[in-house]
Amino acid sequence: MTAFTVRIPPVSTALDTALQHKIDTKTKPLGALGRLEALALQIGRVQQSLTPRLSQPQVVVFAGDHGIALEGVSAYPQDVTWQMVMNFLGGGAAVNVLARDQGLAVQVVDAGVNHDFGEVPGLVHAKIAPGTANSAVQPAMTSEQAVAALERGRALMREAREQGCNVVAFGEMGIANTSAASLLLHKLAEVPLDVATGRGTGVDEAGLQRKQAVLARAAARTGALREQPLQALAEYGGFEIAMMAGAMLGAAEAGMLVLVDGFITSSAMLVASRLAPEVLGYAVFAHQSAERGHQAMLQAMQAQPLMMLDLRLGEGTGAVLAYSLVRAAVAFLNEMASFESAGVSNKD
Ligand SMILES: Cc1cc2ncn([C@H]3O[C@H](COP(=O)(O)O)[C@@H](O)[C@H]3O)c2cc1C
Ligand SMILES: O=C(O)c1cccnc1
């Protein structure tokens, strides 16, 4: 099997004492900014700085199609994937609106959409193949394709860092990709399929039962894959999931902060964290999606999401919203007065 190797430096705790002191001497009761304090500490660790800065934030939306869509596992047709890519490029999708509002640039990557886009301005052409194979009956992709997608994603983030970006929100688009994410959760964390499988775009009760039956058939093709993340990715992943996983690893390698969105984006982080657990030190989990299975997915990574908004959209929408909290954490760390500078009495 083709190899993929990556070594990510663990986030350094060298500045922890100084960062915690800075946080603790701000003019507030000890610990009163709650999770924002932990977030500020993490950002300081990632940037190795007592005065972190956020630079050229962007959301990258990875798009890909899924052969398993043929099995009727989504409420929407496969063409929605490429049509939504055009919508992203036109600036009209939910992620565009939220990103504009929060001040993030939007990048759209064709990781493997089943459509010939031709020369569309603004699209990053990184198509591995026009959609994966149907993982209910055969591996979604070859291990060579999985590695190519991982490496392409990694390279994209190296370039982004070189251009001055140090914080990336991750998003995706791909009809039927909740099926891929559920299968990855089932295989990598051994979460039972009924817990790992949800309604995605909103299949009805009969649709959910059909989806569960299809995923059971897909899962039965292979044995345990808990210790084989690359093989699990090739068997059940998507090109957008694989490229996102590589991009998350590449972002961490480059010392960038990684904002993780919902169920599908988290499945990419699950794969990434099995390839290199240190990536988790760079990851901010934005929210817990309403998609069934996300809670178990987060637990499998011991991740604590920042928000619960009942989002079930993907595209990077939750990650973009979490950027406002990242900005708030950096602002209080850099701008808030200390007891000493403001002449406020601290407790003894
Ligand atoms: C119009 C539209 C926009 C979307 N934006 C994100 N998704 C989300 O829904 C899809 C996953 O759900 P399933 O596995 O049920 O197909 C992904 O494309 C995900 O990004 C969308 C879905 C639709 C229909
Ligand atoms: O949580 C998500 O990312 C999600 C949930 C349902 C459909 N699409 C995406």
- Interval 83-114: pLDDT, tens: 999 999 999 999 999 999 999 999 999 999 99
Nearest ligand 2 atom to the CA of 199 is: 6
Pair 224, 189: CB distance under 8 Å: no
To the nearest whole number, what is the mean pLDDT of the chain?
98
238 lines ligand 2 (CB under 6 A): no
Q: Ligand 1: which residue has its CA nearest to atom 20?
A: 173
Q: Tell me the C-alpha distance between 134 and 279, whole Å.
A: 30
- Percent of the chain at pLDDT > 70 equals 100
Q: Tell me the C-alpha distance between 61 and 316, whole Å.
A: 7
Nearest ligand 1 atom to the CA of 177 is: 14
312 lines ligand 2 (CB under 6 A): yes
- 150 alpha carbon to ligand 2 midpoint, in Å? 21
* Res 118: pLDDT: 96
Q: Tell me the C-alpha distance between 123 and 240, whole Å.
A: 14
- Percent of the chain at pLDDT > 90 equals 99
- Quote the ipTM score: 0.99
264 lines ligand 2 (CB under 6 A): yes
Confidence label for 231 from pLDDT (cuts 50, 70 and 90): very high
As a whole number, mean pLDDT of residues 65-89 equals 98
Q: What is the Rg, in whole angstroms, of the alpha carbon atoms belonging to the chain?
A: 20
State the DSSP code for 259: E
Catalytic residue among 190, 227, 315, 340: 315
Q: Tell me the C-alpha distance between 333 and 44, whole Å.
A: 9
Looking only at the bridges linking them, the beta strands covering 58-64 and 105-112 are parallel
- What is the pTM assigned to this prediction? 0.99
Ligand nearest to the CA of 175: 1
Q: Tell me the C-alpha distance between 133 and 138, whole Å.
A: 7
- 314 alpha carbon to ligand 2 midpoint, in Å? 4
Q: Which of 109, 173, 311 to mutate to test the pocket of ligand 1 (most atoms within 8 A of CB)?
A: 173
* Res 128: pLDDT: 99
CA 90, 117, 63, 314 dihedral sign is: positive
Q: Where are the beta strands (DSSP E) in the chain?
A: 58-64, 105-112, 123-125, 167-173, 257-260, 283-285
* Res 125: pLDDT: 98
313 lines ligand 2 (CB under 6 A): yes
143 lines ligand 2 (CB under 6 A): no
Nearest ligand 2 atom to the CA of 172 is: 3
Domains and CATH numbers, the chain: 16-52+333-342 (no CATH), 58-327 (3.40.50.10210)
262 lines ligand 2 (CB under 6 A): yes
Q: Where are the beta strands (DSSP E) in 51-121?
A: 58-64, 105-112
Q: Tell me the residue length of the chain.
A: 348
Spell out the residues 6+ positions from residue 320 whose beta carbon is closer than 8 angstroms to its own. 59, 95, 98, 99, 102, 104, 169, 171, 259
Confidence label for 280 from pLDDT (cuts 50, 70 and 90): very high
Question: What's the distance, Cα to Cα, between the start and end of the chain in Å?
Answer: 62
Spell out the residues 6+ positions from residue 300 whose beta carbon is closer than 8 angstroms to its own. 185, 188, 189, 191, 270
As a whole number, mean pLDDT of residues 173-202 equals 98
- 135 alpha carbon to ligand 2 midpoint, in Å? 19
* Res 12: pLDDT: 95
- 37 alpha carbon to ligand 2 midpoint, in Å? 28
- 113 alpha carbon to ligand 2 midpoint, in Å? 18
Tens of pLDDT, residues 113-144: 999 999 999 999 999 999 999 999 999 999 99
* Res 1: pLDDT: 55
Confidence label for 348 from pLDDT (cuts 50, 70 and 90): confident
Question: Is 315 a residue of the active site?
Answer: yes
The pocket around ligand 1, CB under 6 angstroms, is made up of: 74-76, 80, 84, 172-179, 200-201, 313-315
Confidence label for 2 from pLDDT (cuts 50, 70 and 90): confident
